[in-house]
Amino acid sequence: MTQDFATRIIAPGSTIGIMGNGQLGRMAALCAAELGYKVHVFGPGTDSPTEQVCAKATVADYTDLDALRAFASDVDVVTFEFENVPHDSVKLLSQLVPVRPGWKCLHLSQNRLREKTFCNENGIGTAPFAAVLSLADLKAAIAKLGRPAVLKTTEMGYDGKGQVKITDETSLDDAWAEMNGAEAILEGFISFEREISVIVARGVKGDTACFCPVENVHTNHILDVTIAPAKIPADLAKKAEDIATRLVEAMEFVGLLAVEMFVTTDGDVLVNEVAPRPHNSGHWTIDACITSQFEQFIRAVCGLPLGNPAHHSNARMKNLLGHDIDDWQAILAEPDAKLHLYGKAEAKAGRKMGHITWLLPKEG
């Protein structure tokens, strides 16, 4: 990236290119419009959630180099709502237009092994882990880390996909077979009280701003409820925010980074994984914060001053999965329920179709 690309301010009236066309892009595009920007979205599939609300859409595969070049020529900056874009495609874009966050940040966050190694090299704790490239590696890793443990693909996989829990009854041959030969990582189990996340923004000048830590409750490996703020001691909240800030600074990151963490039973905070984009656990900020995660995302990637992330209300956010949205009339009949739907044509089991946020009095 040229120095000009690194520091260029993208003024209102410009066009923001977003790679990925799901609900995160949709909510980001709506905030971009409020700040006077147009959005050109790139991704496979027509009538996507983002396409429905943006100025222009390129429907193409992420490896279509001609489409990527044409996309780059039509936008003033490129960012992501989906991090698993091939890094070679991102490198191509970065030669043509400012890309925020940069391809090196994406490359790091696309791989669980690289991600956890980077955390440890920067003095940030994670669950114990080992690289697994073969059945022999898996057996050696189990001997080292013990059972229970979780075997995951190093790349792709989310909401519980691409992972196997290994207990005393699990056949290692069967567990390895489920990886289909993919590079994997074995993560040792840790004893934790709750799962939390911190979303942090970093601007082109290195300024940072954190949203408060929130507690996340998962059902079947998919986020069900987010409680904001997390009910943890002030010193742990500060530690979590410090970890997130250290990570964006070490990565020289520009944009929005979500850091998922465990609060352990012995009072420590360990990083689980990161996402270099807006995050499901930040949806509550739309209704409860002075600056939402999506506005902050747009501000950061455009080189604007960061907004105030403080929350004016506590909140509870619940995902609507699959046919949960069939209850939309009952939800809207509840005056204090803030309903957000994503415009997806078909409700499928486990598919994120929308969310509800309830605002609560801010304590203290």
Annotated binding site: 112, 152, 157-163, 187-190, 195, 218, 272-273
Give the pLDDT of residue 84. Answer: 86
Dihedral of alpha carbons 114, 116, 117, 123, sign: positive
Give the pLDDT of residue 224. Answer: 97
Give the pLDDT of residue 53. Answer: 98
Give the pLDDT of residue 160. Answer: 58
Q: How far is CA 11 from CA 16, 35, 37, 46, 203, in A?
A: 10, 10, 8, 29, 14
What is d(CA 44, CA 62) in angstroms, rounded to the nearest whole number?
Answer: 8
DSSP sequence for 113-181: HHHHHHHHHTT--B--EEEESSHHHHHHHHHHH-SSEEEEESBS--TTTTEEEE-TT--HHHHHHTTTT
CA-based end-to-end distance of the chain: 45
Annotated binding site for ATP: 112, 152, 157-163, 187-190, 195, 218, 272-273
Q: Is the preceding peptide bond at 229 cis, omega within 30 degrees of 0?
A: yes
Dihedral of alpha carbons 13, 344, 311, 253, sign: negative
Question: Mind listing the pLDDT tens digit of every residue in the chain (364 residues)?
Answer: 455 898 999 999 999 999 999 999 999 999 999 999 999 999 999 999 999 999 999 999 999 999 999 999 999 999 999 888 988 899 999 999 999 999 889 889 989 999 999 999 999 999 999 999 999 999 999 999 999 999 999 987 665 567 899 999 999 999 999 998 889 999 999 999 999 999 999 999 999 999 999 999 999 889 999 999 999 999 999 999 999 999 999 999 999 999 999 999 999 999 999 999 999 999 999 999 999 999 999 999 999 999 999 999 999 999 999 999 999 999 999 999 999 999 999 999 999 999 999 999 997 5
Give the pLDDT of residue 3. Answer: 59
Structure tokens at 86: 């091939």
What is d(CA 113, CA 110) in angstroms, rounded to the nearest whole number?
Answer: 9
| 148 neighbors 92 (Cβ within 8 angstroms) | no
Q: What angle do CA 259, 262, 266 make, to 5 degrees?
A: 145
Structure tokens at 49: 């959630």
Q: Which of 111, 101, 112, 109 is nearest to 18 (CA)?
A: 101
Sketch out the chain's domains with CATH numbers.
15-99 (3.40.50.20), 128-188 (3.30.1490.20), 192-360 (3.30.470.20)
| 338 neighbors 316 (Cβ within 8 angstroms) | no
